[in-house]
Amino acid sequence: MKAVDELRNEHQGIERMLRILQSIAGKLAKDEQIVSGQLDGIMEFLSVFIDECHHGKEEEILFPALEAAGVPCEGGPIGDLLGEHEQGRKLVARLKKSVESYTSGDMASAADVQVIINEYVGLMIQHIEKENKGLFLMAESKLDIAKDHEIIEAFDTLERERIGLGKHDEFHALLDKLYVEYLQ
């Protein structure tokens, strides 16, 4: 199913960012400085790529299609995943405040940044696994080819309208740059 494959591919980029975040937390633990411009790019990735684009595709398109196909929201996997999306938003909001304090010179906030990164990474790792090994398999069994095409078109429209043409590629370029900086 192409729609689910697209979301799985996005998960790979998100997992790459999670590894970068873990590296940053490790550097902060050793009192190493992190370039504020890099942190700004990371925060944009978390709020725009992960939340507005990726979670938008799930919440506004895939989840409603699954509900229409009989997958319950309340008390089911969709409700759990929506709760985790909200939990992630709250962590990103806290992280943004701590990053702003850190980049404005409050070195004591580095500890807060580390703690929030670790919470966020833990949440997202188990969340991605639930989707990849649970919900997406359900989608592949419940949705037909016609619905898959409809979802893919809606994904393209959401991405174009929500983040704009070329922004997805910019985020992947950022991932490549940060990968070299923090993981090689």
What CATH number should be reported for the domain holding residue 163? Answer: 1.20.120.520
Instruction: Tell me what percent of the residues of the chain surpass a pLDDT of 90.
Output: 96
Instruction: Tell me what percent of the residues of the chain surpass a pLDDT of 70.
Output: 100
Write out pLDDT tens, residues 75-118: 899 999 999 999 999 999 999 999 999 999 999 999 999 999 99
**DSSP string spanning the chain?**
-HHHHHHHHHHHHHHHHHHHHHHHHHHHHTT----HHHHHHHHHIIIIIIIIIIIHHIIIIIHHHHHHTT--STTSHHHHHHHHHHHHHHHHHHHHHHHHHHHTT-TTHHHHHHHHHHHHHHHHHHHHHHIIIIIHHHHHHH--HHHHHHHHHHHHHHHHHHT-TTHHHHHHHHHHHHHHHHH-
Pairwise pLDDT comparison (53 vs 75), residue with the higher score: 53
Domain count, the chain: 1
Q: What letter represents residue 156's amino acid?
A: D
pTM for the predicted model, two decimal places: 0.96
**pLDDT number for residue 18:** 99
What's the rounded Cα separation, in Å, for the pair 19 and 54?
18
Write out pLDDT tens, residues 113-155: 999 999 999 999 999 999 999 999 999 999 999 999 999 999 9
Q: How far is CA 122 from CA 91, 94, 98, 139, 169, in A?
A: 11, 15, 18, 25, 26
Mean pLDDT of the chain: 97
**pLDDT number for residue 90:** 99
Virtual CA dihedral for 182, 11, 54, 100, nearest 10 degrees?
Answer: -20
pLDDT of 171 higher than 90 = yes
* Domain range for 165: 2-183
pLDDT of 1 higher than 90 = no
